[in-house]
């Protein structure tokens, strides 16, 4: 009788331990999957931030000490770009402003809306520059709100609807401090990124950014639509070559994402193959498990 009782007790204990182990594995697997999704979300947001900063710096560098030029050179960002100056001169004492219209927002976006970096753009964005952009104290402000219906992405059928409020302060010819007040995706799944980064031009052969090599460093916060919050920090500077065929994503750098209680860490490697390839692949690692992700 005692032997039978012990046998049943042992079976119950083994079953309980098995259930606990299965639940633990499920939690770990779910945590890893969530971590990989957060890494993907961050990678896409950071990529789009870089593209918007590049674009703004490129057009800002075409302005003069008097104000906006007679004509902006814009075809690098698509053949349908139209730029309208709403305040063309510094002489009225309140800076200059212009609107950039990337064309119709009906999907799929056309090949004429594809830029040098392989990204399609549609809708509008707004730029304001307080003083001549070549001055060290110059500040460039970027605004895209929901009504601008701005879209961007590598896939013309599924671009992302983006809003942003951001400013760039010029320290010298090679360094800008960038403050991201809000950068969000609009849609079924909302994402938000904020923080401060420093953009440093490592090679500076041209006005603007196109044709150059630069890096980003900095930190901030990321919030998902389910209200999960993460801290992000660039541990090794993100490097980008802004040339045709290699301007879509960063080619090197390390970022760490930590959830709000700092208990879990996701590490993102932008150069998993150690060759600075232009393949748009990042490697996310969480709890010892790694996954390669192609940024869309």
Whether the Cβ atoms of residue 267 and residue 255 lie closer than 8 Å to each other: yes
For the entire predicted model, the pTM comes to 0.86
219 φ/ψ angles, rounded to the nearest 5 degrees: -160, 170
CA distance 79 to 174: 29
Share the mean pLDDT of the chain. 88
| 247-273 average pLDDT score | 91
CA distance 284 to 55: 28
Burial of 39 per CB tally in 10 Å (0-12, 13-18, 19+): buried
User: Distance from CA of residue 73 to its chain's centroid?
Assistant: 24
Comparing CA positions, the residue from 221, 127, 219, 138 lying closest to residue 175 is 138
CA distance 78 to 16: 62
Comparing CA positions, the residue from 53, 74, 155, 71 lying closest to residue 111 is 155
Comparing CA positions, the residue from 168, 167, 241 lying closest to residue 205 is 241
Q: Is the pLDDT of residue 1 over 60?
A: no
Q: Average the pLDDT over each of 18-32, 103-117, 127-141, 248-262 and give the range with the smallest value.
A: 18-32
221-239 per-position pLDDT tens digit: 998 876 688 999 999 999 9
CA distance 229 to 214: 29
Q: Is the pLDDT of residue 30 over 50?
A: no
User: Distance from CA of residue 262 to its chain's centroid?
Assistant: 22
Whether the Cβ atoms of residue 110 and residue 76 lie closer than 8 Å to each other: no
Whether the Cβ atoms of residue 79 and residue 102 lie closer than 8 Å to each other: no
């Amino acid at each position: 009788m005692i032997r039978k009782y012990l046998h049943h007790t042992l079976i119950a204990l083994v079953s309980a331990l098995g259930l606990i182990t299965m639940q633990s594995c499920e939690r770990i697997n779910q945590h890893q999957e969530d971590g990989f999704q957060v890494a993907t979300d961050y990678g896409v947001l950071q990529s789009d931030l870089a593209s918007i900063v590049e674009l703004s710096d490129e057009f800002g560098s075409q302005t003069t000490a008097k104000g906006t030029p007679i004509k902006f050179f814009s075809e690098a960002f698509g053949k349908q770009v139209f730029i309208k100056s709403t305040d063309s001169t510094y002489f009225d004492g309140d800076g200059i402003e212009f609107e950039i219209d990337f064309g119709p927002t009906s999907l799929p976006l056309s090949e004429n809306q594809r830029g040098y970096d392989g990204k399609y753009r549609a809708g509008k964005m707004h730029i304001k520059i307080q003083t001549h952009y070549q001055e060290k104290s110059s500040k460039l402000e970027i605004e895209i709100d929901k009504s601008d219906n701005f879209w961007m992405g590598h896939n013309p059928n599924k671009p992302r609807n983006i809003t942003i409020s951001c400013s760039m302060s010029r320290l010298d010819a090679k360094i800008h401090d960038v403050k991201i007040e809000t950068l969000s995706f609009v849609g079924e799944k909302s994402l938000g990124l904020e923080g401060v980064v420093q953009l440093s031009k490592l090679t500076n052969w041209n006005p603007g950014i196109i044709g150059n090599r630069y890096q980003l460093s900095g930190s901030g916060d990321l919030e998902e639509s389910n209200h999960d919050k993460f801290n992000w920090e660039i541990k090794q500077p993100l490097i980008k070559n802004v040339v045709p065929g290699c301007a879509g994503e960063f080619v090197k750098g390390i970022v760490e994402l930590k959830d709000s209680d700092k208990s879990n860490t996701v590490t993102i490697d932008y150069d998993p193959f150690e060759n600075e390839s232009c393949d748009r692949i990042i490697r996310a690692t969480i709890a010892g498990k790694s996954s390669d992700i192609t940024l869309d």
